[in-house]
Chain A
Amino acid sequence: MSLKVPILKLYDCLIVSIQWELDDQMAMMFQEDLLSKLYETEAKGIVLDLTFVDFMDSYIAKVIGDAINMATLMGAKVVMTGLQPSVAITLVELGIHLNSVSTALNLEKGLEQLQKELGV
């Protein structure tokens, strides 16, 4: 019954846009899918766009934060983009800071930032 999060390759980047509310299994599956896609495609960077995410609890934040750390361990640069104000507010109030994660206001700025970080 779970929907997969689409992961698209654009030049040497992966573009991921989470478009619906993730349940626990979807979140775990997303983690594995992202890492295997990264391995297969040898992409250098990932833009993880959360424009359409209107809520994030500590579990989903942990899975996403872990996925970013894992991808970084594998050698990719990751930029998280498009966090809505309500999501940023609730995450910080909840006590989740995701300090080590590189972020940008939107997908466009995230791609620019990634290109810079990759030295393209």
Chain B
Amino acid sequence: MQKKSSVEIVTEWDIVAARQLGRNKAKEIGFGTVDQARITTAISELARNIYLYARFGNIHIEWIEEGDKKGIKIIAKDKGPGIEDVRKVLEDGYSTSGGLGAGLPGVKRLMDSMEIQSEINKGTTITITKWLR
């Protein structure tokens, strides 16, 4: 099995491709149906953010291991406008798109951890992980 794969996000069809890849990876790693749905949904939200705000970028999906723990790591990377106030986008109900998308707090709740690196006019990298229980 390939440990790493990635999907370029350019059109809205790529959002579908990214989440399908994520679901397949999650299944291969051994996640149950609920976690598969969580991972698929989180990827879909991040891919949509790229498509909406940055126009293009990529979603990188990786099988990770730490000791005897197995998990999945997803990196969503774009060279878009960046996030002005990272703390603010992590508040529930904050949106700049007028209500489209549940936002990053929702994605964070679906996963075990989330890390955001962003620089204005340079881009954003969001890393999310989930461990197999």
Contacts and interface: CB of A to CB of B under 8 A. Distances in A.
A58 B36 CA distance: 16
Interface in A1-56: 21, 23-25, 54-56
Contacts, number: 74
B48 interface: yes
Interface residues of A, number: 21
B37 A86 contact: yes
Interface residues of B, number: 28
A95 B102 contact: yes
Nearest to B34: A86
Nearest to A58: B102
A23 B13 contact: yes
B25 interface: no
A25 B15 CA distance: 12
Nearest to B35: A86
B12 A89 contact: no
A96 interface: yes
B54 to A, nearest CB: 16
